[in-house]
Amino acid sequence: MTTNAITEDKYRWMESNEKPEVQEWLKQQSETTGKYLDGIPVRKELREQFQKLFSLDTVGTPAPRKGLYFVMKRRGDQDMSVLYVSEGISGIPRVLIDPNTLSEDKTVTIKQWRPSRDGKLLAYGLSNAGNDKFAIYVMDVVTGVKLSDEIPDDFYPSFLSWNTDGTGFWYRKHDPRMPMSEAKLYLRIYFHALGSKYQDDLLVFGEDLEKDDYPGMTISQDGRYMLVEVGGRDRRSGKWWNEIYLRDLALSDVKFVKVMARIPDITYDGRLHRDRLYVITNQDAPRMQILEMDLNDAVSGHVIPKVLIPEGKGVIDEVAFVGNKIFVATLQNVYSAIHEYNLHGDFVSEVVLPSIGSAGGFSCEKEGEELFFSFESFAIPRTIYRLDLVKNNLSIFAQMEAGFDVEMIETKQVWYPSKDGTQIPMFLVYKKGVVLDGNNPTVLYGYGGFNISLTPSFNKGIIPFVLHGGIYAIANIRGGGEFGKEWHEAGMQKNKQNVFDDFAEAAKWLISSKYTRKEKLAIEGGSNGGLLVTAIVIQNPGLVEAGIASVPVTDMLRYHLFFGGVHWIPDYGDPDNEEMRKYLLGYSPYHNVKDGEKYPAMLIVTSDNDDRVHPMHSYKMTARLQEANTSKYPILLRVELKAGHGGASAITKYVEEQADVWSFVFDQLKML
């Protein structure tokens, strides 16, 4: 593709869903994809298997509030989880919000929800398309009556903290004085007093923030202190930074004090507990450490932080403060450990976990006597544990059913060298007894970005494939957070090619180690992982047999112009910077498709209401590949209607989506 052709961007007209010509093109794509899928004999069988697997009860992690327990549950015959409340841990659950009754097509979903400190009120969000755009409402928990308060979804409200007496809450939203065409930007902190109109909400913080700065807030247990964290990017380098501000709410004439100042590539996660400010940071500690300081000193500007819990072998992943205890979840070689400390930072004990897996999702009250967390692995379904801090007793609150015999599954972790010699870990999941003779159908999954770690998880979506003799591989490539700051930075901006090399070498290792061969190998990824898949296919068109890219980022020159894409600049780099633009252009999947190339089969999956990664990325990439490809393999597009970045919300629709994706895999890897 010539430089002039890149400049012209012939498929830019696809950047608007509303255009009649786009809708007509999508209709044609739907017909083509539907015809292909209808011709796959195993599709019906897969649909039935997924229906069985997902028609089982699920339970979320409870949120305790003064003897009340709020929890999301879904019966096996329901499409979406219902929000319940019960009095006492063993109380009879009462329905608060049932999204299954809110829309006939099951597209209205519950998003964020926050009970007040005493549990008497509930603020919750409802999305009309299962995406990031939702309105906030308030309910009286005792009566179940919805109050008059409403904050419209136009302003993308989110992330709220109740005040101590439940008369109002602080939240984040788009500044209504700024352009509504950039509704995911210009975020500020407001206070909403119950019973008032949202138009009268008080602007509390953020008047002078840049349009892509990202504020969040929390309130101390006694209601006296407000902590605000702001994330943004350095305009010159494009690097990410954090700042922490504090304000003493008891003093009306006192402004916010900056406690932690911005340093490029340094992150701060502030927590308020009793009379202390704790900061989880990678400053001088690539795998994170926890600092502490006196709140009175901090709010007066006399900050003297000291190291409470120093950097260890594992990466600090999550922290919870409960009474006199601190619980720290870490990642060690990509699996979880949980350690208990006292408030002086002294190690107390390790919480014994069932096996190698993923633990976290802490839920507790700051002065409570219990801690909830979840655990899962490739062979253990998600289990919710309750740790009684008085009796020091760990028990199971709820355990999901697997839907099959988990003893049939075998997993192991291997390490392989990347192109530059870096050792990369990878998990393999397969059926016991499978003969590893180089002919095994294999799907390789990856992400590689935004400091996100791929840890062991119980994924029902892969079970039919694995039980049919397939190998599912998860590569923990650079760009993620598996080994801390340095691992993440090794896959950022001008190091992004490391991510693609790591993934390509994983595929080559699986072939050379006789697990599979090219004709039996597919790659899969979503969002940033979709960028990964499309980049690999463009750079190595003969490496794999098929690729599945879900909600992918593919146009690296224009990604920052849609929704909140500007927030990705610290990871990807700024396309408006001439030097960075050249680098982005060098690997941008959409811009590097070659006319006449023989590409592998591709299934690109997106949602028409995705307001995180604009579906135009999928549309343009599909059109360009279809135009250029000269191989016999299909280039297909699947669009989920009235859905967001996560795809279908209703289980019945999700089952259809999974059946379609895996039918494509079975067909292309000749597993019929």
* Per-residue pLDDT at 365: 98
Mean pLDDT, rounded, for 215-230: 96
- Co-location of 358 and 453 in the same domain: no
* 5 — pLDDT class (breaks 50, 70, 90): very low
The predicted pLDDT at position 2 comes to 45
Give the C-alpha separation, 10 to 308, whole Å. 56
Residue 308: exposure state from Cβ atoms within 10 A (0-12, 13-18, ≥19): buried
pLDDT above 70 covers a percentage of the chain that reads 99
Biggest CA–CA distance in the chain, Å, is 73
Side chain identity, residue 666: F
Q: Which two tokens stand for residue 629?
A: 């490809």
Q: Is the residue at 286 inside a domain?
A: no
Q: Are 63 and 70 in contact (CB under 8 A)?
A: yes
- Tell me the CA distances in angstroms from 71 to 87, 92, 115, 363, one per residue in order: 12, 12, 11, 11
Q: Rg (Cα) of the chain, in Å, rounded?
A: 25
Give 87's strand partners: 68
Task: Tell whether 289 is covered by a domain.
Answer: no
Question: Which residue in 654, 614, 610 sits closest to 106, CA to CA?
Answer: 654
- Tokens at 114, concatenated: 């926050």
Residues 6+ apart with CB under 8 A from 89: 62, 69, 386, 397
Judge if 151 and 105 occupy the same domain: yes
Tell me the average pLDDT across 286-299: 95
Collect all residues with Cβ–Cβ distance below 8 Å to 275 and sequence separation of at least 6.
Answer: 294, 295, 296
CA–CA gap between residue 230 and residue 246 (Å, rounded):
12
637-670 b/e (C-beta count within 10 Å ≥ 16 → b): bbbbebbbbbbbbbbebbbbbbbbbbbbbbbbbe
d(CA 596, CA 644): 34
Let me know whether 75 and 31 are in one domain: no
Which residue among the candidates 377, 645, 649, 663 is catalytic per the annotation?
645
Cα separation, 467 vs 461, in Å, equals 11
Distance, in Å, from the CA atom of 393 to the CA atom of 382, rounded to the nearest integer, reads 20
Surface-to-core class of residue 142, CB atoms within 10 Å of its CB (0-12 exposed, 13-18 middle, 19+ buried): exposed
DSSP 666: H
Closest CA to 116 of 59, 70, 153: 70
pLDDT over threshold 70, residue 8: no
Give catalytic status of residue 607 as yes or no: no
Task: With a cut of 70, say whether residue 408 has pLDDT above it.
Answer: yes
Find the mean pLDDT for residues 13-20.
95
Check residue 607 and give its pLDDT.
Answer: 97
Write the single-letter amino acid at 140. D
The per-residue pLDDT for 171 is 98
Residue 238 confidence (pLDDT): 87
* Residue 278 structure tokens: 């704790």
Domain membership flag for residue 581: yes
The Cβ of residue 632 has, within 10 Å, a number of other Cβ atoms equal to 7
Shared domain for 327 and 391, answered yes or no, is yes
DSSP for 553-574? ---TTTGGGSTTGGGGHHHH--
Cβ neighbors of 512 (< 8 A, separation 6 or more) are none
Determine what percent of the chain is predicted with pLDDT higher than 90.
Answer: 96
Q: Are residues 373 and 510 in the same domain?
A: no
Tell me: pLDDT of 149 over 70: yes
The residue to which tokens 């890149």 are assigned: 6
Determine the angle formed by the axes of helices 20-38 and 616-628, rounding to 10 degrees. Answer: 70
Residue recorded with tokens 């050379």: 512
Measuring CA to CA, which residue among 555, 570, 536 is closest to residue 444?
Answer: 536
Q: Which two tokens stand for residue 627?
A: 């135009």
Q: Which residues pair with 244 in a beta bridge?
A: 229, 260
Dump pLDDT digits (tens) for 622-634: 999 999 999 999 9
Same-domain pairing of 47 and 83: no
Confidence class of residue 4 from pLDDT cuts 50, 70 and 90?
Answer: very low
Residue 285 is assigned to a structural domain of this protein: no
Angle at 155 between CA 152 and CA 160, to 5 degrees: 80
- Candidate list 116, 336, 527, 607, residue with the active-site label: 527
CB contact at 8 A, 267 and 288: no
645 is catalytic: yes
Cα distances (angstroms) measured from residue 211 to each of 182, 261, 385, 533, 565? 9, 19, 41, 31, 12
- 384 and 488 together in one domain: no
Q: Which residue has the tokens 């379609």?
A: 660
Mean pLDDT of 513-536: 98
Q: Mean pLDDT, to the nearest integer, of 41-56? A: 97
Q: How far apart are CA 385 and CA 160, in angstroms?
A: 26
| H or E element at residue 503 | helix 496-512
CATH number at residue 152: 2.130.10.120
335-380 pLDDT, tens digit per residue, is 999 999 999 999 999 999 999 999 999 999 999 999 999 999 999 9
Residues 19 and 66 in one domain: no
Phi/psi for 334 (5° steps) reads 75, 20
Last residue of a domain, one of 167, 182, 211: 211
Domain-terminating residue out of 211, 230, 263: 211
Q: How far is CA 480 from CA 271, 334, 424, 566, 585, in A?
A: 24, 11, 12, 19, 22
Q: Is the pLDDT of residue 402 over 50?
A: yes
35 with 122, same domain: the answer is no
User: Residue 601: what pLDDT?
Assistant: 98
On whether both 499 and 377 belong to a single domain, the answer is no
pLDDT of residue 7: 52
**Domain shared by 131 and 17, yes or no:** no
- Residue where a domain terminates, one of 211, 232, 265: 211
- Asked whether residue 271 carries a pLDDT value surpassing 60, the answer given is yes
Q: Is 151 part of any domain?
A: yes
Per the structure, the count of domains in the chain is 3
Is residue 308 one of the residues assigned to a domain?
Answer: no
Is residue 243, in this structure, part of any structural domain at all?
no
Question: What DSSP string describes 293-348?
Answer: EEHHHHHTT----EEEE---SSEEEEEEEETTEEEEEEEETTEEEEEEEETT--EE
Range(s) of the domain holding residue 517: 3-52+404-668
Distance CA 616, CA 606 (A): 9
Average pLDDT over residues 441-452: 98
Question: Which residues make Cβ contacts (< 8 Å) with residue 44, sequence separation at least 6?
Answer: none
DSSP state of 544: -
Q: What is the mean pLDDT of residues 114-125?
A: 98
Question: Helices 496-512 and 528-539: crossing angle, nearest 10°?
Answer: 70
Rounded to an integer, the average pLDDT of 236-260 is: 91
The confidence band for 6, taking pLDDT boundaries of 50, 70 and 90, is low
Tell me the average pLDDT of the chain.
96
Task: Compute the distance between CA of residue 470 and CA of residue 461 in angstroms, rounded to an integer.
Answer: 13
Q: SS3 letters for 624-664? A: HHHHHCCCCCCEEEEEECCCECCECCCHHHHHHHHHHHHHH
Q: How far apart are CA 428 and CA 426, in angstroms?
A: 7
Task: List the CATH number of the domain containing 475.
Answer: 3.40.50.1820
pLDDT (0 to 100) of residue 502:
99
Is 237 part of any domain? no
Any idea what the Cα angle at residue 110 is, between residues 106 and 111, rounded to 5°?
A: 130
Nearest to 561 by CA among 519, 603, 500, 617: 617
Sequence length of the chain is 672
Mean pLDDT of 383-403: 97
**Same domain as 451, residue 596:** yes
